[in-house]
Amino acid sequence: MELFIARVFDGFSNGAKYAIIALALVMIYKATTLINFAQGEMAMFGAFIVLVLATEQGLPMWVAV
């Protein structure tokens, strides 16, 4: 039962990530009527900044985010 609950929360987590990416793509498309192919690059840059702040600067994860 514990494994099932863990998998359900993993599924919700992955679904939330996909929903946020889709929402960002739709918002950019509706505003400009162009598909922004740099969307993934911007998300990766933000994740990299959080990684640097959390590991090298020693900030707690919630502060880095």
At 19-48, the pLDDT tens digits run 988 898 899 899 998 888 787 888 899 999
Read off the tokens for 37: 């192919």
- Residue 8 pLDDT level (bands cut at 50, 70, 90): very high
Does the pLDDT at position 14 exceed 90?
Answer: yes
Read off the tokens for 61: 């994860």
Contacts of 60 (CB under 8 A, 6+ apart): 54
- Is 0.85 topped by the overall pTM? no
HEC-encoded secondary structure of 9-53 = HHHHHHHHHHHHHHHHHHHHHHHHCCCCCCHHHHHHHHHHHHHHH
Interatomic CA distance for residues 39 and 65, integer angstroms: 18
